[in-house]
Amino acid sequence: MLLAKDELTMAPNNSPPPHPFAGRTMTGAEMLVQILADEGVEVLFGYSGGAILPTYDAVFVHNADVTRPPMPLIVPANEQGAGFMAAGYARATGRVGVCIVTSGPGATNTVTPVRDSLADSIPMVVICGQVPTGAIGTDAFQEAPVSTLMGSVAKHVFLITDPARLEVTVRTAFEIARTGRPGPVVIDVPKDVQNWSGVFVGEGVLPLPGYRARLAQVEARRLDSAACAAFFAMLGESRRPMLYVGGGVVAGEASVALREFSDTFGIPVVTTLMGIGAVDTTSERAMRMLGMHGAAFANYAVDDCDFLIAVGARFDDRVAGDPKRFAKNARHVAHLDIDTSEINKVKTVSWSHVGLLPEALTALTAYGRASAFSSDWSDWQAHCADLRRVHAMNYDRQSDLIQPYYVIEEINRLTKGEAIIATGVGQHQMWAAQYFDFRSPRLWLTSGSMGTMGFGLPAAIGAQFGCPNRLVIDIDGDASIRMNLGELETVTTYNLPVKVVVLNNFGDGMVRQWQKLFFKGRMSASDKSLHKKDFVKAAQADGYPWAKRLDCKADVPTMIEEFIAFPGPAFLEVIIDPDAGVYPMVGPGQPYEAMITGDHIVSRNPAESPRPPGASEMF
């Protein structure tokens, strides 16, 4: 975005005192680093290279100055790892994660983390070095069209060609990343812009009249009495209300308001994969995760409800595979979200509100209390409790093989819902979502919409930097961790107490499960049983002081206790039953009544063979 100098938005007259460095001559790189410090950035993740060297040098100089708060620069095995570390930091803390990479392959290696963060609404700023301004478009060494590549996968992209706009652009990038529906912002900074010298102003942002006007409009929206009355009229008619909660509640810091609303009126809650932790999973209101691999009792409860209240959720295909038959008995659907585009996008709703979720939920709670709203939902609450009991999660507890669910239950017994759990993507991801407890938001870190294998380990590293006093555990699969296995060394390089569990079933477990169900058992490219990787030796080679393999069921409790208790980096490979599956499972494009519950979870519907997905249906 290129703007004239007189279009820059400066601080108002009643602003705080001038920046202490205002008027000082700095290079572009020094300005960039100073703004990172001004934004309260605690840690940087990135990999160096020619086009970003001036900025890396400025980081070094900044950190060498003992009078300034340090911003440690964490160097991963590759730039994708840096991006996911920044995302893990942001997911665990709610603050903007920062990734700094070089041009060309450095920038292209961050495309996946950027897209992943956009899909899950994660605030991140990615600073890419670029070839000098005059060389852009000449296929110069390590040149990549960052604006073009990132423009379709980031919330916003800036290419800075006028160094006078560097300062305000960086501040604006942080503003965009953290406000509204959060997301990643990419700043492409040519090397000559980094080397340029100019006067540091210390204030100002770019004018974004459209964005700020829309944002102000959304933030100003409040539920008036008429809207609240309409909502409670539907709630008053309901005998079986259900809250359907998504990641927007976590991103919007609305968990406290949501819990108060649910508890005040006694409404049960189901969450999406990204909404896990928005309510305490151990509470009596919690009906756990719904959807394709949601708990059977959660899906049945959604089928049975007569009023569905969606909060920060988007009715995606993993939840509403068949939108017309999703919440099929609901006479009314309400939807609260910060993003207007989500309303009526997938499922038509009866009532909606676009605005800040904490304020909206607080307003509804206050209105209900002021109007002395009450309703007897004891029968519905008892029905939900009965669903939880009859259709509880279960597995083959008599098997001589180590079942992954048992491993997670044992870890959960020790962590008690207080640990940060990061995952890769695959069966282990779903088992973790199903069997771990989460007492608070931001304890569950996973790649939701993109489903990016290799996410778990670097995300756990980023989370550990953001939450140094928390126990952080990466639950991974043998296939998923291979994607970013080099980050094992990053853990030990910085002596992080990250715990890594690899549930090894010698293959792409989720793909194999689909191949068994839908492709007549043809294991095309998913069997890794002939691979030679010794994960324990790999961890030892990377400096893990505690690295062991668990292959005997009788040893599970004691070895997991030892693993969790170890004070430093620890690595545990668990050889699990290769045929362990993720159940329940709702086939793509199918309603919950077609849910497959497997051999150990009680179904209330007649068993039926899974229908193969259609050509246009999602994996």
The catalytic site residues sit at 79, 141-142, 191, 510
DSSP string, 230-273: HHHHHHHH-SSEEEEE-HHHHHTT-HHHHHHHHHHHT--EEE-S
- Torsion angle of C-alpha atoms 589, 594, 595, 598, degrees rounded to 10: -130
Question: Helix, strand, coil proportions of the chain in percent (round to 5)?
Answer: 40, 15, 45
Give me the phi and psi of 44, to 5 degrees please: -120, 145
Query: Which 3 state secondary structure label does DSSP give 556?
Result: helix
How many Å apart are CA 84 and CA 114, to the nearest integer?
Answer: 9
Element at 211 (helix H, strand E) = helix 209-220
Spatial contact of 427 and 404, defined as CB atoms under 8 Å apart: yes
- Torsion angle of C-alpha atoms 229, 230, 235, 236, degrees rounded to 10: 60
Beta bridge mates, 574: 503, 550
Q: What is the DSSP letter of 8?
A: P
326 Cβ partners below 8 Å, 6+ apart?
302, 315, 319, 320, 347, 591, 592
CA 472 to chain centre: 15
Nearest to 585 by CA among 273, 291, 293: 293
Q: Beta strands 269-271 and 286-289: pairing type?
A: parallel
Angstrom CA distances, 512 to 92, 116, 396, 508, 571, stand at 31, 24, 19, 6, 25
**Helix (H), strand (E), coil (C) string for 441-461:** CCCEECCCCCCCCCCHHHHHH
Give me the phi and psi of 245, to 5 degrees please: -115, 130
Q: Both ends of the chain: CA-CA distance in Å? A: 37
Q: Which residue shows structure tokens 């209390």?
A: 369
Angle between helices 556-565 and 404-415 (to 10 degrees): 40
Spatial contact of 159 and 130, defined as CB atoms under 8 Å apart: yes
Give me the phi and psi of 360, to 5 degrees please: -65, -45
Residue type, 324: K
Element at 472 (helix H, strand E) = strand 472-477
How many Å apart are CA 158 and CA 161, to the nearest integer?
Answer: 9
Spatial contact of 599 and 585, defined as CB atoms under 8 Å apart: no
How many C-beta neighbours within 10 Å does residue 67 have? 4
Alpha helices in 416-534 (DSSP H): 427-435, 456-466, 478-482, 487-493, 509-518
- The CB-side HSE value for 365 (13 A sphere, CA atoms) comes to 18
DSSP string, 291-329: STTS-HHHHHHHHH-SEEEEES----TTT-SSGGGTTTT
Spatial contact of 523 and 498, defined as CB atoms under 8 Å apart: no
